[in-house]
Amino acid sequence: MNWTWFHKLGSPKWFYEISGRWLPWLAVAAGVLMVVGLVWGLAFAPPERYQGDSYRIIYIHVPAAFLAQACYITMALAGAVSLIWKMKLADVALQQAAPIGAWLCFIALVTGAIWGKPTWGTYWVWDARLTSMLILLFLYFGVIALGQAISNRDSSAKACAVLALVGAVNIPIIQKSVEWWNTLHQPATFKITGKASMSAEMWLPLLISVLGFYCFFVVVLLLRMRLEVLKRESRSSWAKAEVIRQVEARS
Amino acid sequence: MSFDSFQDFLAMGKHGAYVWSAYGISLAVVALNIAMPILAKRRYLQDEARRLRREKKS
Amino acid sequence: MSNVFSLLLARESRLLFRRPAELANPLVFFAIVIALFPLAVGPETELLQNISPGLIWVAALLAVLLSLDGLFRSDFEDGSLEQWVLSPHPLPLLVLAKVLAHWAFSGLALVVLAPLLAMMLGLPVRCLPVLLISLLLGTPILSLLGAVGAALTVGLKRGGLLLALLILPLYIPVLILGTGALQASLQGLPAVGQLLWLACLTALAVTFTPFAIAAGLKISVAE
């Protein structure tokens, strides 16, 4: 197998060029998919039999929760790449993904709590999914705090990579144990997402919304990574030329 | 369209406050996440422009 | 190889014995936290008995975490950690010995102290075997996972609070399984399932965390 593309990815200059070419398309895709998914879910999907219209929160809650987990997996993969191949770009990806993941966790938690009020009668129930999401938020805080605490750029990235990998190994164990704890203490009376009961008119907009959130995540990650790469490479000639080009384009 | 009128759409069958606040907060966070890197980049470019001007003078 | 392991264990034990006050601190902390709760929630025996599994485990978790803050500090400051990293012996094995010695004097001491405090909280005597076994299986995981955080934060000036932030979320499965076992035995149910799961996690932690600890130490030393 030809691995040059993989090692090319490690070159900041190449990454900057290619991501600049992809970014507009991804941004358009994110915008279109999110608008279509959310408007469809809000206005056109049929109401749910038991929850009425309050279930429409699902179209942001589930994509945000899904992406919050996917973001942690991305971080763990970037951490592995960074530790194994010592790729600087993976360091950038890992540290720039952490705040986005924390924000996605925040969205999932807030919408889950707001959804809980009409469904359960209280804003917060120690439900297995919400609790796992809260723990995931704490894991993100840990990675962000560790990254900020270590001043040396290289060792901070490596420390975050180790922590993200340890966390990623732990996440399935945490989720299983939280699920088990939850069934022990309160038999699940109401599942927040009943997969079987969803008709195609309901899950199709959900799928589109999930795809839209995926594109949104990639767009924000690329935006953050490009800035960070430009800052880190500020001594190299291509970055200097790029900054001068952009400064002149602005003035 | 699963609603009869725009009024119905806003009311969301008595759950309007919950649905719209959830969507409002989420979209605000999404917008914030997009705005933050763009503003950070603008600030960085302004700093760099100032530095370049200073270097040209000296 | 095993020679190095036992030598290191002996060295660590000797070092720990020279500072008995440092060994006693987590134990006193454990006892004080447990003593705070009857004062906070009232001395009703039934209430205390019901919450005692959670109480003992949370207190044990915090005590272990507190004792871990200084795990690698003195070795980091006097440079012996660098020697470890440079030595021809595999670093994961060395750190395993170090954490094992530390556990023997802090985790094991907690296990010995716990029945006394559990009785004071009104936990019936029939639950004591489960309490002992669950703590015996759980505290090594706490020490090993905490050592990962301690290794990553050893070079930092104020690592203590950060260590708690990094490691406490990872302790959740141990907490759930440990309290679950105790609660089951409190209700007269068999607790073997939870204990077996705890044993499984212990095996996982002993096999994998030494590598993470070693990686963390290498990063901290290189800085």
pLDDT tens per residue across span A207-248: 999 999 999 999 999 999 999 999 988 888 888 888 888 888
Contacts of C180 in chain A (CB under 8 A): 180-181, 184
At residue A51 the predicted structure's pLDDT band, cuts being 50, 70 and 90, is: confident
Q: What is the mean pLDDT of chain B?
A: 87
Q: Is residue A110 part of a domain?
A: yes
The parent domain of residue A91 ranges over 26-42+55-185+205-250
Q: Over 60: is that where the pLDDT of B33 sits?
A: yes
Domain count for chain C:
1
Q: Is residue A50 part of a domain?
A: no
Q: Is residue B1 part of a domain?
A: no
Q: Is residue B44 part of a domain?
A: yes
The pLDDT assigned to A187 comes to 47
User: How many whole angstroms from its chain centre is CA C195?
Assistant: 17
The parent domain of residue B25 ranges over 6-57
**Can you tell me the mean pLDDT for A127-137?**
89
Q: Do A250 and B3 touch (CB under 8 A)?
A: no
Q: What is the pTM of this model?
A: 0.91
The pLDDT assigned to A189 comes to 45
Greater pLDDT, C136 or A119 = C136
Q: Do A146 and C148 touch (CB under 8 A)?
A: no
**Can you tell me the mean pLDDT for A2-15?**
78
**Can you tell me the mean pLDDT for A167-189?**
79
- Contacts (Cβ under 8 Å, ≥6 apart) of A130: A109, A112, A113, A116, A124
The pLDDT assigned to C188 comes to 86
- Contacts (Cβ under 8 Å, ≥6 apart) of C152: A146, A159, A162, A163, C166, C216, C219, C220
Contacts of B31 in chain A (CB under 8 A): none
Q: Other C-beta atoms within 10 Å of B8: how many?
A: 14
Tokens 């999404």, located at residue: B30
Report the distance separating Cα C60 and Cα C132, nearest Å: 12
- Among A176-185, C41-50, C124-133, the minimum mean pLDDT is found in A176-185
The answer to whether C95 and C217 are in contact (CB under 8 A) is yes
Greater pLDDT, A30 or A6 = A30
User: How many whole angstroms from its chain centre is CA B45?
Assistant: 21
Q: Is residue A10 part of a domain?
A: no
The pLDDT assigned to A197 comes to 60
At residue C135 the predicted structure's pLDDT band, cuts being 50, 70 and 90, is: very high
Domain count for chain B:
1
Picking from B2, B21, B25, the nearest residue to A44 by CB comes out as B2
Q: What is the mean pLDDT of chain C?
A: 89
Domain count for chain A:
1
- Among A83-97, A186-200, C86-100, the minimum mean pLDDT is found in A186-200
At residue C178 the predicted structure's pLDDT band, cuts being 50, 70 and 90, is: very high
The pLDDT assigned to A188 comes to 46
Picking from C169, C212, C223, the nearest residue to A142 by CB comes out as C169
Greater pLDDT, A57 or C20 = A57
Greater pLDDT, A130 or A25 = A25
Q: Over 90: is that where the pLDDT of C208 sits?
A: yes
Q: Is residue A11 part of a domain?
A: no
Tell me the one-letter amino acid at A113.
A
**Can you tell me the mean pLDDT for A181-196?**
57
**Can you tell me the mean pLDDT for C46-60?**
91
CA distance readout (Å), C89 to C82, C85, C86: 13, 9, 9
Q: Is residue A1 part of a domain?
A: no
Greater pLDDT, C53 or B8 = C53
CA-based nearest distance A15→chain B, Å: 17
Q: Do B22 and A61 touch (CB under 8 A)?
A: yes
- Among A126-140, A210-224, B4-18, C159-173, the minimum mean pLDDT is found in B4-18
At residue C50 the predicted structure's pLDDT band, cuts being 50, 70 and 90, is: confident
List, as ranges, residues 93-132 from A with C-beta within 8 Å of B.
Answer: 100, 103, 106-107, 110-111, 114-115, 117-118
Contacts of A132 in chain C (CB under 8 A): none
At residue A1 the predicted structure's pLDDT band, cuts being 50, 70 and 90, is: low
Tokens 């340890």, located at residue: A166
Q: Over 90: is that where the pLDDT of A30 sits?
A: yes
